[in-house]
Amino acid sequence: MSVIFRTEGLSKYFDSLKAVDGVDFAVEEGTIHAIIGPNGAGKTTFFNMLTGNFAPTAGKIIFRDEDITGLPPHIITRKGIGRSFQISNIFGGLSVYENVRVAVQATYGDAPGILVRPKWLDEVDEKAQEIIERVGLTQFSRVQAATLSHGDEKRLEIGLVIAANPTLLLFDEPTAGMSLDESHQTMDMLQDLAKRHTIVLIEHDMDLVMSLSKQITVLQNGRKIAEGSPAEIRGNALVQQAYLGTAI
């Protein structure tokens, strides 16, 4: 197993607030790696730097031995990092099929195809169908995305993310606001995705984190305070302190 993704001393300061402060972080290929921490620990800010929403104040982001620090989101996406958001981020006014088709199309470059119909359009169609099937939305293919249920919207978003065939998947609280049932379905889906992709996730649901992840990184006040296997984290005194006695 090799390290596919790492950060070195990654920091983001907003004026005097050190939202993320000198975080070293490494993900091994083919694993599920969770980032946990109390509210305001800097987890989402950390993610936002990884995907290029903000440029870091200091530090480096390295993906497959390439420095991707400060690149804009669309370039980072094309390098093979996909992101799912806390609130499902889909194209509400388009049909499920159109959603996935435009996601697949992104992997075929920017040919406008205005005057001549590109040959690869049929291929795009086939791949879009495959992905819709893979996330289990075939019967909703022609339904407007905004009318889907909460859980189905999440599946669609995951479909959009995997359409780019990313190496690394970043999930920001994939089960936020879900019913217990939907949470379990999402867990199964994450486990399924882990067979093909490396996954980094931010999650509050400790059961999910403990049962799914191989490695856990704990952030508090922008700093990394612990890292290790679920068992190690469970027994870590600092972590328990950070959560103020919350059972982990």
Tokens of 31: 């694993």
Cβ proximity of 49 and 12 under 8 Å? yes
Give me the least distance between CB of 59 and other proteins, in Å please: 22
9 is an interface residue for other proteins by CB under 8 A: no
**Helices 96-105 and 121-134, axial angle in degrees (round to 10):** 120
Task: Considering only residues 64 through 93, tell me which ones interact with other proteins, judged by CB under 8 A.
Answer: 72-75, 77-78, 82-83, 85, 89-93
Residue type (1 letter), 20: V
Q: Please list every residue from 141 through 170 that binds other proteins, using CB under 8 A.
A: 141-145, 147, 160-161, 163-164
Least Å distance, CB 30 to other proteins, is 23
Interacting residue with other proteins among 32, 49, 61, 103 (CB under 8 A): 103
Three-state secondary-structure class, residue 171: strand
3-state secondary structure of 198: strand
The three-point CA angle 189-201-72 to 5° equals 110
Say which amino acid occupies 69: T
Q: Is residue 107 within the footprint of other proteins (CB under 8 A)? A: yes
Query: Can you give the binding site for other proteins, defined by CB under 8 A?
Result: 51, 72-75, 77-78, 82-83, 85, 89-98, 101-103, 105-108, 110-115, 117-118, 121-122, 125-126, 129-130, 133, 138-145, 147, 160-161, 163-164
